[in-house]
Amino acid sequence: MKNQADFGNVYLFVENVAFCFDLYLTREILADTKNFGVTQNFLAESVSDPGEEWFAMRRNLHRPLSPSSSDAQITRVSDYVKLGLDSLARPGGSCTCDISGQAFVAGVAMRSASELLFGQAQPRLELACHKLLSILGRVTGNALALPSVVPTPARLTIGYRHKAALSEVRRVMDKGEYAPGSACDALVKNLPEDSKGRSSEMLIGAMLAAYRVSAAAMSWCIFYLLQNVEWLAKSYREAEAVGDNEVSLDDIPSIHAVVMESLRLRPPTWLLDRVALRDVVVCNRFSVPRGGTVTMSPFLVQRGTVNFVRPHEFVPERWISKFPGDNNQAFLAFGAGKRTCPGRNATVRVIAGFLLGILQWSSNISARVDLQSVRVLTQNAQTPEGLSYRVVKR
């Protein structure tokens, strides 16, 4: 194809829409905040240059979610998981838990998201975000969905639930119902009063992203461990060795490697879009007209044979001893550049804490379905649909 001959892995659908899975073009576009914009919020209402204030808010989110301050999440989430499994096992006096679908992992992910951003549980906000994300799933990733300007019942419901979630965030901010040193605290302290609207939008977007990414990734980790007995055994040994002590990722290298490899194979955010704010030429070879959209896929980049050795296989050891031929610059599960997910370090620790909790609580994990029958759902995030497994208490 002429497009591939001229540009490499770039395909032009129509004049103003291109699909790119060339690593270097992708990283260049993601890093170029001057020439490429994103939608102002997750509702895809409009595209504009966000301005320095917006990036200042993101920097404020980064600081409380740094690796050192996020390590405590591993133990906190693992304890929460064990309490949740106890409550599931208790009603019938059984020592087993059957986990089907996303209900259990979604609960863990949503509670973790609110604690990450606000430093404490926010039940009302968690419920509002859950309702909003459930209706967003009907239109995001749906090629047949009508444009956002068409007032369909689903779009109207999204608007109502969006307002409800924003109202809840503003209530939390105005009443100071967040912990000192939390991401919300950093935003409130460092921004003028007239920026609360934008900061509320950012917190809602961060809450939804933390929820959907963590929940999907937790399930993929279990999915791959169920098919890899060696790594399941390694992870069990690590979980037993650390016991009830406070842990960091350095204490659980196998569990950490499982998380990273699952994110490489199945990045929950598998598509990224950028819109050109002006005519631009990327890497001196790829022209994008003003208003043109470039869609990029971390999923395809991370499975590229030029970027990783054995790219389609589950090989966690690549994250313990770097493989010659692997290019970790191709790991784009959290994006790249100034718009990299602020919670990337914390999210990895939340997912590791989920695995640690299940492994410490249980003596055995087994699939309740044929894993080959598990399908990939790609609405809000890549999610294993139909995954069901059983955990047996120690």
Q: What pLDDT, on the 0 to 100 scale, is given for residue 9? A: 67
Whole-angstrom distance, CA of residue 117 vs CA of residue 132: 18
Worst-scoring range by mean pLDDT, 86-95, 163-172, 253-262? 86-95
Q: What mean pLDDT comes out for the span 34-53?
A: 64
Among candidate residues 60, 116, 47, 106, the one with its CA nearest the CA of residue 81: 106
Q: Per-residue DSSP letters for 27-77?
A: HHHHH-TTTEEEESSTT---EE--HHHHHHHHHHHHGGGSHHHHTHHHHHH
Sorting pLDDT into bands at 50, 70 and 90, what band is 123?
very high
Give the residue extent of every domain in the chain: 32-40+52-267+302-393
> Nearest to residue 107, comparing CAs of 129, 136, 92, 90?
129
Paired residues of 10 in beta bridges: 20
Amino acid identity for residue 107 in this structure: G
Mean pLDDT, residues 73-92 taken together: 87
- For residues 14-33, average pLDDT: 86
Q: Which of 26, 382, 47, 304 is nearest to 18 (CA)?
A: 26
- Mean pLDDT value across residues 109-117: 89
Amino acid residing at 370: D
Listed range (24-38, 60-74, 88-102, 229-243) with the worst mean pLDDT:
60-74
Mean pLDDT of 27-46: 74
Tell whether the model's pLDDT for residue 34 goes beyond 50: yes
Nearest CA-CA partner of 294 in 51, 4, 28, 54:
28
Q: Is the pLDDT of residue 17 over 50?
A: yes
- Tell the CATH topology of 32-40+52-267+302-393: Cytochrome p450 (1.10.630)
Q: Are strands 17-20 and 293-296 parallel, antiparallel or unpaired?
A: parallel
Residues 188-243 pLDDT 10s? 887 666 666 678 888 888 888 888 889 999 999 999 999 999 999 999 999 999 98
Q: Angle 18-21-27 (CA atoms, 0-180°, nearest 5)?
A: 100
Higher pLDDT, 138 or 156: 156
Of residues 244 and 178, the one with the higher pLDDT is: 178
Residue 300 CB-half CA count within 13 A: 13
The per-residue pLDDT for 178 is: 93
* pLDDT reading at 392 higher than 90: yes
Q: For 167-177, what is the mean pLDDT? A: 92
- For helices 103-118 and 72-89, give the axis angle rounded to 10 degrees: 140
Comparing CA positions, the residue from 305, 296, 299, 309 lying closest to residue 376 is: 299
The first and second tokens of residue 365, run together, are 């994990």
So what's the pLDDT on residue 99? 92
- 359, 237 in Cβ contact below 8 A? no
Q: Which H or E element spans position 294?
A: strand 293-296
Beta pairing partners, 276: 36
Write the CA distances from 156 to 40, 42, 145, 166, 254, integer angstroms.
19, 15, 13, 15, 46
Mean of the pLDDT values across residues 344-367?
94
Q: What is the mean pLDDT of residues 95-124?
A: 89
Q: pLDDT over 70 for what percent of the chain?
A: 85
Average pLDDT over residues 98-122: 89
Distance CA(207)–CA(201), nearest Å, equals 10
